[in-house]
Amino acid sequence: MARVDMTETEHGGGGNGRPGSGSRFRTALDGLRRDRGIWRRGILIAAAAVALTLLMVFHAEIPNTIGNLGSLTETFLPWLGLFVPLFLVLALVRRSATALIALLLPAVVWLNLFGGLVADKSVPGGDLTVATHNVNADNPDPEGTARELAGSGADVLALEELKGDMVPTYERGLAEAYPHHSVQGTVGLWSKLPLRAAQPVDIRMGWTRAMRADVVTPKGEVAVYVAHLPSVRVKLNAGFTANQRDNSANALGEAISRDRHERIVLLGDLNGTMNDRSLNAVTSQLRSTQGAAGDGFGFSWPASFPMARIDQIMVKGVEPVSSWALPETKSDHLPIAARVKL
């Protein structure tokens, strides 16, 4: 009996007649070694993982000629990472070594594309806090939205989708916090600092949905643009309809390129993400505060379950130090804010 007890202890049984964790691991490992199908199973999962990798690497090659499929893919590109844990579960269920190894490809590519957005890049300091919010023309509580924004702490506040009869409500609600403001068409700029040379910007809409003004700060002037690019739609018979948005983005990019001011801040609802090639006319000139100094992806739409960052704060000639989303209002967008160093 003594010999039996010693043998069980040596094999991790603890003397209770049951195999220990070490024994179970060795048994499982031996089973995998004898399982010759471990490399043959899961070929379809491995193929799907490779296809996902190619989609993320070559997303810019997806043509926009058919339903703007390329832009649609780029709008939700970060969400492709959700397939990695899904494929991982399937690979484990199938006990497929081939699929597990193949999954390293999309995991590495996704981390290369978006891993930098996950970490908090904000730092203390900064000279100017800016914010932007699409307040929604059908906002059921503009008074409450104005109160929320007045308490945001922003020095400069841009509003989009201002319905004409709601403008006085926002003017009253923001007057105490922001003594300077200008409304051009359906966009407006409110500021604690003096504004100069406020004027509309033509983005080929037929009516005014963009503006520009100089904000006079203690460290000099900053050119601030406010823009609301046209909405996009996903239709079964037409795909991703974004042509009007794309034309307006090009017009906005041209206006910014002609601006001789060294320091530029763009605030607004661009109805597109930084990955969308159709916004290149703008994104090639300015940098996103979220990408440079944000914490996470900073999704802003829809407010109830944010899936994409289509509201943007972009800069040139100033240094972003932090970027964040503000509390939800009664709009379908989240307000966003950033602090920059002049």
Q: Are residues 136 and 64 in the same domain?
A: no
Question: H-helix or E-strand containing 13?
Answer: none
pLDDT at 119: 87
Cα distance between residue 50 and residue 36, in whole Å: 23
Q: For residue 236, is it within any domain?
A: yes
pLDDT beyond 80 at 109: yes
- Amino acid present at 324: W
Q: Are residues 212 and 312 in the same domain?
A: yes
Of 209 and 67, the one with more pLDDT? 209
Residue 127, SS3 per DSSP: coil
Q: Are residues 198 and 268 in the same domain?
A: yes
Residue 90: pLDDT band (50, 70, 90) is very high
Cα distance between residue 326 and residue 322, in whole Å: 13
Question: Which tokens hold the place of 306?
Answer: 């944010």
Q: Are residues 161 and 267 in the same domain?
A: yes
Residue 27: pLDDT band (50, 70, 90) is low
Q: For residue 73, is it within any domain?
A: yes
Number of folded domains that form the chain:
2
Q: With contact defined as beta carbons under 8 Å apart, do 46 and 94 qualify?
A: no
pLDDT beyond 90 at 12: no
pLDDT beyond 50 at 6: no
Cα distance between residue 194 and residue 224, in whole Å: 12
Among 67, 88, 115, the domain-final residue is 115
Query: Residue 212: left (phi > 0), alpha (psi -120 to 50), or beta?
Result: beta
pTM of the model: 0.85
Lowest mean pLDDT among 1-15, 85-99, 277-291: 1-15
Q: For residue 321, is it within any domain?
A: yes
Residue 234: pLDDT band (50, 70, 90) is low
Domain that holds residue 254: 128-341
pLDDT beyond 80 at 66: no
pLDDT at 235: 55
Question: Which tokens hold the place of 126?
Answer: 């900064």
Q: Are residues 102 and 212 in the same domain?
A: no
Cα distance between residue 227 and residue 233, in whole Å: 19
Q: For residue 66, is it within any domain?
A: yes
Among 83, 115, 147, the domain-final residue is 115
Average pLDDT of the chain, as a whole number: 90
Q: With contact defined as beta carbons under 8 Å apart, do 249 and 278 qualify?
A: yes
Q: For residue 227, is it within any domain?
A: yes
Among 64, 91, 115, the domain-final residue is 115
Q: Are residues 165 and 191 in the same domain?
A: yes
Q: Report pLDDT digits (tens) over 169-211.
A: 999 999 999 999 999 999 999 999 999 999 999 999 999 999 9
Q: Are residues 161 and 225 in the same domain?
A: yes
